[in-house]
Amino acid sequence: MDKQKVSLVSLGCPKNLVDAEVMLGHLPTDRFEIITDESKADIIIVNTCSFIQDAKEESVETILEVADYKKTGRCRLLVVSGCLPQRYREELLRELPEVDLFMGTGDAARIVELLDAHVPGQAPRHEVGLPDFLYDHTTPRVKSSPFYSTYVKIADGCSNHCSYCIIPQLRGTLRSRSIDSLVSEVRTLTAEGVKEINLIAQDITAYGRDREDGASLEDLLRALVKIEDLQWLRLLYAYPDAIGPELIELMASEEKICNYLDIPLQHIDDTILKKMNRRVDEQTIRALLARVRQRIPDVTLRTSFIVGFPGETEEQFAALLSFVNEGHFERVGVFRYSREEGTAAAALEEQIPERVKKSRYQKLMKAQSRVSFRKNRALVGRIEPVLVEGVSEETDLLLRGRSIRQAPDVDGQVYITAGQAEIGAIVPLRITDSSEYDLIGEICQDETAGEA
C-alpha cells in the first residue's frame, strides 16, 4: 500500500510551530510521507492562528488557497487545526465547507485516530477537544526548523488574563512541564546537533507556578546550562513583573544564556496598563530596565507594544512614543489593537478608529527604526559571535547568519562578506557595517567576541 503524502502549513507563532511538529511526529512513517509541495499531497493540514484579526484573515486565506488543491491537485482530505477551530467551532462548519476535519489546539496527539475516522464524502467533522494537551520529552516530534536551532515549549496555556488577549480561551490555563522532561528533551536535541535552544511559552516567567514540586524558571535554567553540547540558550516572552534579581544574575553569570531578553510591555501609560490588566506600571518598568542594563550592560532587549487600545488618548500615545525615542530597546514589535470578541477589552468604550491606529503604528515603527539604526551603528568594529545559517537570499556570493543579539524569525540577520564557515557553525565576526535591522561583517579567526 502506498504511503499517504501529507503537507502541513503552520501559521502564527513558534508555539504553534511546535504543535505542528508534534502533530507530524505522531504520523507513523510506514503509513505517511511528509512533503512540502501541497500540490502533490493527499492530505493537507493547515495549523492556524487566531490571536488577532490579521492572523484570522491570514488563516482563512490560506485555507481557501490550499483548498484549491482538492480540485487541481491530489488532495482528498483537508484538515484545519489549532487556534481558529478552537475558537470558532460552529462558524467554521458553516463557512468553510471545503474543510473535511477541524481539530483544536489540544488534539495534535489524536491526528491518526481522527484521520482514520474520516469517511470520503461525509460532511465536515468538528473534533475539537479541551485545550489541555502538553507534550513532553517522550512525545514524537518532527523538527522543521534548521538542524542547529529549535524552539522548546516549557509550558502551555496562560493564567495572566490580560484584557485584550484570547489566549486562555484557546490554550487553557498554565501547564508547566517538569524540569527533568525539559532537560531530557534539550539533551537529546543538542546531541543531534542543535546549538541554539529558544525557550518559549505564553509567559516563560510563569513557568512552574502551577507545579507542586516548586520548580521555577531559574531552577530550569540552572539545569539546562549544565548540558555540555548546548551553546546558546535564549529566553523569549518574559513577563516584566517576574523578572527578578535571581534571573538577571543568572543571565549575567551564565555564558550559555544569551544576553537577550524579550519583555512584552504593551504600553508605558499607567492608565492604559491598568485597563489592559497588566501587573506593572511605568515606575516598575523603568526600574526593571535600569536593573537589567546595569547588571548586563551588553544585553539586547526586545519588546512589543499595542497602539490604539480603547481610550488611548493622543497624550498617552505621545508618552509611549517618547518612551520609545529614549532608546531602551534594540528591537520593538508594534501591534494595532484588535478588538477580539470574548475579551474584556472588547466591551470597553472609546474604541479607536482604524486610521488612527494605523497612523500611531507608523509613527512608533519609524521612531524605533531610528533607534535600531543607531544601536546597530554602535556595533561597527566589534567582534560578535554569529551563527552561520547558509547562503544569502540576496546573492549566493555571501553567507548569512544571526548574531547572538538576533532571535530567529523576528529579528534581522547578518550578511557575511568575507570568510568561510560551515552552516551551523558559531564563528567570531567583525561588524563592518549595518542598517536599521541587519548587520554586515567579516569572519575573523582567533579573536575574542566583544572586542572593538
In angstroms, the Cα distances linking 431 to 99, 163, 408 are 50, 42, 19
Query: What's the rounded Cα separation, in Å, for the pair 449 and 152?
Result: 27
Scan for cell 493540514, then name that residue. 45
**Dihedral sign of CA atoms 208, 213, 214, 215 in order:** negative
Could you tell me the three cell numbers for 344? 474584556
| 74 burial via Cβ count (<10 Å: 0-12, 13-18, 19+) | middle
Query: What's the rounded Cα separation, in Å, for the pair 138 and 390?
Result: 31
Amino acid at site 158: C
Q: Provide the greatest CA pair distance for the chain.
A: 67
Q: Which helix (H) or strand (E) holds 169?
A: helix 167-171
Q: What are phi and psi of 303, to 5 degrees?
A: -145, 175
Query: What's the rounded Cα separation, in Å, for the pair 398 and 421?
Result: 11
Q: Long-range contacts of range 322-329, CB-CB < 8 Å, 24 or more positions apart?
A: 323/268, 324/364, 324/367, 324/368, 324/371, 325/367, 325/370, 325/371, 327/371, 327/374, 327/375, 328/289, 328/301, 328/303, 329/301, 329/302, 329/303, 329/368, 329/371
Q: Identify whether the C-beta of residue 412 lies closer than 8 Å to the C-beta of residue 439.
A: yes
In angstroms, the Cα distances linking 313 to 200, 319, 352 are 33, 10, 9
Amino acid at site 213: D
444 is in an annotated binding site: no
Q: Identify whether the C-beta of residue 251 lies closer than 8 Å to the C-beta of residue 288.
A: no
Q: What angle do CA 49, 52, 56 make, to 5 degrees?
A: 50
In angstroms, the Cα distances linking 20 to 16, 25, 70 are 6, 9, 22
Amino acid at site 441: G
258 is in an annotated binding site: no
Question: Residues comprising the binding site for [4Fe-4S] cluster?
Answer: 13, 49, 83, 158, 162, 165
Residue ranges of the annotated binding site are 13, 49, 83, 158, 162, 165
